[in-house]
Amino acid sequence: MTDESGISNNVIREVTQLIVNGKKYDACVGESLLGFFFDNGIYATSVNLVTKEERFAFCGMGMCSECEMIDENGLVLRTCQTRIRQNMTLTSRGM
């Protein structure tokens, strides 16, 4: 299907499995992790080690580190700056 300019508006997105703290989701490769979290009601990316309070993104641009999670390779990722890739597994820091 094309619009009046002749440009196709059919976008085919590759779907993959994303595991967040042990829960499985279907997600689109290339989508922002933080955007995915908002869309799917995931509002805890880490836990304060002292108070055990759940934490979530604050600035949304990579400065505050509140959105950091750990991937399947043990790397710490800022979810506001990371796109979904094939078969990602993420764990909240402190959980």
State pTM to two decimals. Answer: 0.79
Residues in the chain with pLDDT values less than 70 = 1-11, 95
Give the other-Cβ count within 10 Å of 42's Cβ: 19
Q: Which helix (H) or strand (E) holds 36?
A: helix 33-39
Give the other-Cβ count within 10 Å of 69's Cβ: 24
Residue 75, pLDDT score: 96
The reply to whether 6 falls in a domain is no
The reply to whether 4 falls in a domain is no
CATH number reported for the structural domain that contains residue 29 in this entry: 3.10.20.740
Parent domain of 66: 15-92
| Total domains, the chain | 1
Residue 9, pLDDT score: 60
Nearest Cα residue to 18 out of 48, 42, 44, 54: 42
